[in-house]
Chain A
Amino acid sequence: MNPVPAMQNSEILLRGVHKWFGQFHALNDINLSIAPREKVVICGPSGSGKSTLIRCVNRLEAHQEGHIFVGGVELDHDERKADLTRRGVGMVFQQFNLFPHLTILENCILAPMWVKKLPRKDAVDIAMTFLERVKIPEQAHKYPGQLSGGQQQRVAIARALCMNPKVMLFDEPTSALDPEMVKEVLDTMVELAGGGMTMVCVTHEMGFARQVADRVIFMDRGQIVEEGTPDDFFARPKTDRAALFLSQLLH
């Protein structure tokens, strides 16, 4: 199996990926190719392996079998390669994972200064640009604990963008938010999608999927069960499992 031809037009490529947590088969033979600038939404019931899948893409989790390529580089046991890859892959977490001991601005300039070795002034300029884009520049000198959940998540998005990534991974970015704050985060993500970035998003926000996604992937029990355009998937799910999942989601 030679991955090279398929990689010509893949930003992210997974070939026969397996992962186990002890006895639990978290990922079962995942094959997936994501093109540059493609927006992919991954959904599925909890425990289906969606989060594990995208956490493997920046090697927060190590897969045990198969191959994962990001930007043409294979992720393996070489941690330096993983660190290099992560510079081009931003990630937004369900729990924001902002650093509470640093101000908003310091959160955003930490990685550019220490990883990319940018001078502080340049890093601050970049950070302020993105904080303006997520519409909270005035909070730059507050600490994360002083912000609402929605604001914190927008900071997390800005923080990831400060590294100028080619790929953004979102791991249920709105699941920990109060309902009235979901929209502001989704709006930020929709705007981001317009900018031509490769996005992989684990979410149950179907409105967002319809509006933004090129492709929806449905996972269950560690497998990709079904994939298709949002219109097809939501209107005419091909499998019973997807149909059942969607019917539960709508109520």
Chain B
Amino acid sequence: MISRLILTYPEGARRTGIAFVLCLITLGLYALGISSAWIGYLVPATSGWLADNPALGRFFAAGMIALILAANWMALRQLTRRQQIVGVWIELFALLMLFFYSFNLSLPFIAKKIGFMVSQGVVTTLYISAISIAIATLIALTGAIAKLSKNGVIYGLATFYTSLFRGLPLLMQIYIIYLGLPQVGYVIGAIPAGILALSLCYGAYMTEIFRAGIESIPRGQSEGATALGLSSSQTMGLVILPQAMRVIIPPTGNQFIAMLKDSSLVSVVGVWEIMYLARTQGQTEFRHIEMLITASMIYWILSIGLEFLQSRIEERFGRFNVR
């Protein structure tokens, strides 16, 4: 019945649909408990009416926001795809800044501390992450080859490793390595402990990524290489891995970004990286939120850098795919 109506009156159905969505958004905003104060700010003359009719005012505010969203949607639709993307980014970024602005942050305090955050925190975070990423990649490669091994001992070692280090929370691993190794007579510094824990944990995740990547290459490739007389390590290094990289890189980039942020867990053993500084620098003047937001933005910027790097590498390894 309804489907017939939609088919017969497509234009009417479209308008009804839009009105329905608008109503839904309005009701949703109202249910979320939106405030009508902003209308009072914008048009002071209405503030008396708003105070008298709180419920009606809130409903009116929700409807206005729904209409603003709709207008925004219409405006964006006029643009090209590229402009739409940029437009959405700018709008959402402005909203995010508005959200931060509402905390009434002390910008001078941030300006005073940010130099130290970058020179100490960012540098430490970056070098812990970079070393861990390098070691984790090596572990992952070894682990993946071990997992594809016919030798039972090697396979057993690899599966136990991935199972254990994927199974324990990273925070627990950092504690166990930092506090546990001295128990057996090996005293380890906070930074090496952090790097070890990050490498082992991410190495375990990435082992699975590398294994899946290697397995995704058809058997004919290794047969072709073997038939040419290439040894098994040459086959892996020259034929299989370069092709597997295309499959491996996107999820690995994900892991790198995740690791960058998980390196914040290392702060629990007192390493002066971004997270640690964010927690401690604000304490003296009770300006916690300033430091936390600053640290968040720094993490975000670093992640964007990694995303960019990832897309560049993907391009490089994908170039043979052109037709």
A residues near B (Cβ < 8 Å) are 58, 60, 79, 83-84, 86-87, 89-91, 93, 95, 97-102, 110-111, 114-115, 143, 145-146, 156, 159-160, 163
Contacts and interface: CB of A to CB of B under 8 A. Distances in A.
Interface of B: 218, 220-221, 223-232, 234, 238-239, 242-243, 317, 320-323
Nearest to A156: B224
Given A86-B228, A91-B227, A163-B229, A101 B220 contact: no
Contact of A111 (B228, B242, B317): B228
Given A110-B230, A115-B228, A115-B230, 17 more contacts: A60-B226, A60-B227, A83-B231, A86-B227, A93-B224, A93-B227, A97-B227, A99-B224, A99-B225, A100-B243, A100-B320, A101-B243, A101-B317, A114-B238, A145-B320, A145-B322, A156-B224
Contacts of A114: 230, 234, 238
Contact of B242 (A58, A91, A101): A101
A99 B226 CA distance: 12
Contacts of B234: 114-115
Given A93-B220, A97-B223, A99-B239, A159 B228 contact: yes
Contacts of A86: 226-229
A92 B34 CA distance: 71
Contacts of A102: 320
Nearest to B242: A101
B119 to A, nearest CB: 42
Contacts, number: 71
Nearest to A159: B228
Contacts of B239: 99, 110
Nearest to A80: B231
B220 A145 contact: no
Contacts of B322: 143, 145-146
A97 B229 contact: no
A163 B227 CA distance: 11
Contacts of B232: 79
A57 to B, nearest CB: 11
Contacts of B227: 58, 60, 86, 89-91, 93, 97, 160
B235 to A, nearest CB: 10
A97 B320 contact: no
B229 to A, nearest CB: 4
B213 to A, nearest CB: 13
B98 to A, nearest CB: 48
Contact of B229 (A60, A93, A115, A146): A115
The 4 closest A-B pairs by CB, nearest first: A97-B224, A111-B228, A91-B227, A97-B220
B151 to A, nearest CB: 14
Contacts of A100: 243, 320-321
A91 B223 CA distance: 10
A98 B220 CA distance: 9
A1 B322 CA distance: 56
Contacts of B224: 91, 93, 97-99, 156
B321 A145 contact: yes
A84 B228 CA distance: 10
Q: Which interface residue of B221, B229, B238, B243 has the most chain A CB atoms within 10 A?
A: B229
Contacts of B225: 99, 111
Contacts of B243: 99-101
A180 B232 CA distance: 37
Contacts of A91: 224, 227
B221 A99 contact: yes
Nearest to B234: A114
Contacts of B218: 95
Contacts of A83: 229, 231
24 contacts: A60-B226, A83-B229, A84-B229, A89-B227, A90-B227, A91-B224, A93-B223, A95-B218, A95-B220, A97-B220, A97-B221, A98-B224, A99-B224, A99-B225, A100-B320, A102-B320, A110-B230, A115-B228, A115-B234, A145-B320, A145-B321, A146-B322, A160-B228, A163-B228
